[in-house]
Amino acid sequence: MNLQEYINNIHDGKVDWFVSECNSYYHMSRINKIIDIKEYLNGSHSILNRPAEKWNGKTFEPRRIVLQYAKTVLNFSTSYLLKNPVTISGQEADVKVMKQIYKQGKFNRTDLDIMDKMVKYGAVYEYCFIDRDGKIKSKLINPEDSYPIYNEQGQMICFLEHYTTDYNVSYYNIFTDSTVQKWTNAGGDLNFLGEFHNPSGLPVVYKNLNEMDNTAGRSDLEDFINIIDNMEDLISKYTDSIYKFLNPIPIVIGQKLNIKNNQGEIPTNLVGIGLNLDDGSDMKFVHGQLDFESFESVWKVLKQALLDVSNTPAVSMNNTDISNLSEVSIKLLFSLADIKAGLNERYIREGFEQRFNKIEKLLKLQGIEIDSDDIEIVFQYARPLNESDIIDNIKTLRELGVMSLQSSIENCPMIYDIGSEMERLGKENVNNYNRNIVKES
């Protein structure tokens, strides 16, 4: 099914079909979920809806403690994979061109934004273009403004970008393989702003796995948001208990006091006041006992569940004491993080492959030929390293003659740009060779 067939079958061939497409139940439900996630990350948690309580005859405003663990966990997933810039490898000429494009278009910065939005909202879209200065750049389309359209085979046939300004004016950008159409309802009526050539085609899709829908991603937040809600509920109620039980209740044991004309009753303010009791009577303050051990036990279980479900190492959130760890121990501590980063690497790598194909198309328009299939991306995880052990092992392998210079550079924790380092070493070797010839002569 192509786009025109989709418009005819789903929207009866209407000219303003994109308006009803954006208002469809599927897209509205998806966008509302993204908005809910944005509000949650901004601090709108369910604990804030906790109602006021009646206690001791008065209205009591309970504690509503918000824990922003979600931001910490999601930021860790993003930084663990892309804190160190990706390394581009492949044919020397192609790599040189791609590095220049990355530098001019600030793509390393864009990569972090892509990863951030993918783990938070499940999907994000990138449009590559040539700016007025002839530089290849990209624009990220916000998930809440994105409306991808797929055919029955799961292939994207069109992409809609729809957003509304503060003046309640809506704009629609319709992306196809060859054109971009722009529409707006400024002035009250739907107006066609123009059609433009689209050399890069449809936007690049970055999305993670969604078991229920293979055309959409799924936010990592959905896996552990309920755990954080229970942690907030637990600590808020426990804090309330501390303040409630600080107000003790006076209890008199023995013969009941003779109360007449307010004489003999227990005063509401007992500070500096003597109290006369009958023989054999006793008076004491009684207050509730807080079971902090039960609270601590439940809290630890919930926090550990949060770390396990989100694949976050306990050591990264100060949940484990460490000292003098070997390289193997560090890898074991961060094994879950490595597994999660490996999955995220797979998802973002699929998007990078689409990006490189589109950059290849744009370069052809400028008369530059590259083969995007030969370009590879190498990720450097932000795992803590015992650098001394690694360097000693590399040195030993080099001395034994079982490791090449390039392999030693690739495994060195201090070098991220392997290609540039090889070029510099090559130049240094040439210069040293020339100096030796001069000395000999």
pLDDT at res. 33: 94
Note whether 141 and 161 are within 8 A (CB).
yes
- Residue 410 shares a structural domain with residue 330: no
Residue 2 CB neighbours (<10 A): 11
Residue of 220, 196, 215, 213 whose CA lies nearest to 205: 215
Query: Does residue 277 lie in a domain region?
Result: no
Give the Å distances, CA to CA, from 335 to 127, 332, 343.
34, 5, 13
- Residue 321 shares a structural domain with residue 416: no
- Structure tokens of 216? 């959409």
- Residue 307 shares a structural domain with residue 420: no
- Residue 336 shares a structural domain with residue 408: no
- Residue 407 shares a structural domain with residue 377: no
Query: Does residue 258 lie in a domain region?
Result: no
Task: State the DSSP code for 57.
Answer: T
pLDDT at res. 440: 58
- What total number of domains does the chain contain? 2
Query: Does residue 266 lie in a domain region?
Result: no
Last residue of a domain, one of 384, 411, 428: 384
Query: Does residue 269 lie in a domain region?
Result: no
Query: Does residue 272 lie in a domain region?
Result: no
- Residue 99 shares a structural domain with residue 190: yes
Query: Does residue 262 lie in a domain region?
Result: no
Query: Does residue 122 lie in a domain region?
Result: yes
Last residue of a domain, one of 339, 354, 384: 384
Taking the alpha carbons of 18, 22, 23, 26 in that order, is the dihedral positive or negative?
A: positive
Task: State the DSSP code for 144.
Answer: G
- Residue 375 shares a structural domain with residue 306: yes
Note whether 283 and 277 are within 8 A (CB).
yes
How confident is the chain (441 residues) per 10-residue block, as mean pLDDT? 89 91 93 94 92 79 91 92 86 87 90 94 94 91 94 91 89 93 89 92 93 90 94 90 68 60 59 58 67 84 91 78 65 84 92 93 91 86 76 84 80 72 75 57 54
Query: CB within 8 A of 118, min separation 6: which ones?
Result: 124, 206, 207, 208, 217, 344, 347, 348
- Residue 146 shares a structural domain with residue 47: yes
* 0.75 exceeded by pTM: yes
Last residue of a domain, one of 384, 410, 433: 384
Query: Does residue 273 lie in a domain region?
Result: no
- Residue 345 shares a structural domain with residue 411: no
- Residue 342 shares a structural domain with residue 411: no
- Residue 86 shares a structural domain with residue 107: yes
Range of the domain at 317: 1-253+283-384
- Structure tokens of 185? 């309802």
- Residue 295 shares a structural domain with residue 414: no
Give the Å distances, CA to CA, from 320 to 74, 108, 273, 300, 384.
20, 33, 52, 12, 15
